């Protein structure tokens, strides 16, 4: 029987930059997102959030507008949302796996006590930089099938650099979130089969 192999992805990237000619038109045509000004007007800095980015395509588009994406001060990565999708056999199994992950995912020495709201659990690890975690069942944006979704949101450029080692968009190419999550998460869930982890998830759900 196959083992559960979580699928890593990047759900969102936030960038701050000074606008070049054609930036706003390109962003709105490619990503349907309206940039937001941040900081004092004299700095002319804008925040751009890109959901489910194709990082190579994003780099190519910005460089075509004249940005030197390999230089942090030209394009600052100010936030990243990493994700792991644990594929499930059904929506019920996705919910059971999510419950089990909520019990196992945060190592006691690394977390604040998680907050549970419905099927979603939230926590943060402030001692290691502002990493906000959430875990819940949903349809995977990668496979379009049911999954238990674990994500980590890093805010502020300094935290992104310190915790993930991401200084430029180029650092996100082929970035494996599993290495980052190993510092915070109990990873033994990946050694269980879908049926076994679902069985244990149901047992945990009955105790809630």
pTM for this predicted structure: 0.76
- Tokens 């990047």 found at: 10
- Tokens 């937001």 found at: 36
Q: Within a 10 A sphere around the Cβ of 104, how many other Cβ atoms?
A: 18
As a whole number of angstroms, the distance between CA 73 and CA 35 comes to: 18
Q: Token pair of 79, please?
A: 């936030």
CA 180, 182, 186, 189 dihedral sign is positive
Q: What is the pLDDT of residues 96-146, one digit of tens each?
A: 888 777 766 655 445 555 555 555 655 655 544 567 778 888 899 888 999
As a whole number of angstroms, the distance between CA 115 and CA 55 comes to: 32
Residue 129 forms beta bridges with which residues? 127
- Tokens 């940005």 found at: 67
Instruction: With a cut of 70, say whether residue 3 has pLDDT above it.
Output: no
């Amino acid at each position: 029987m196959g083992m559960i192999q979580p699928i890593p992805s990047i759900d969102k990237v936030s960038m701050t930059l000074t606008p070049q000619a054609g930036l706003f038109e390109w962003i709105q045509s490619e990503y349907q997102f309206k940039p937001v000004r941040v900081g004092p007007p004299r700095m002319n800095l804008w925040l751009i959030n890109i959901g489910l980015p194709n990082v190579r395509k994003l780099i190519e588009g910005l460089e075509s507008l004249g940005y030197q994406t390999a230089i942090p001060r030209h394009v600052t990565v100010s936030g990243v949302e990493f994700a792991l999708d644990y594929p499930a056999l059904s929506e019920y199994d996705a919910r059971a796996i999510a419950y089990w992950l909520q019990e196992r995912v945060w190592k006691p020495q690394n977390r604040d006590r998680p907050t549970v709201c419905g099927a979603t659990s939230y926590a943060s690890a402030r001692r290691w930089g502002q990493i906000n975690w959430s875990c819940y069942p949903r349809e995977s944006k990668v496979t379009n099938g049911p999954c238990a979704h674990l994500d980590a949101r890093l805010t502020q450029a300094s935290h992104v650099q310190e915790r993930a080692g991401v200084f430029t968009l180029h650092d996100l190419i082929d970035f494996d979130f599993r290495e980052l999550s190993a510092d915070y998460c109990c990873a033994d869930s990946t050694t269980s089969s879908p049926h076994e982890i679902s069985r244990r998830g149901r047992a945990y759900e009955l105790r809630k």
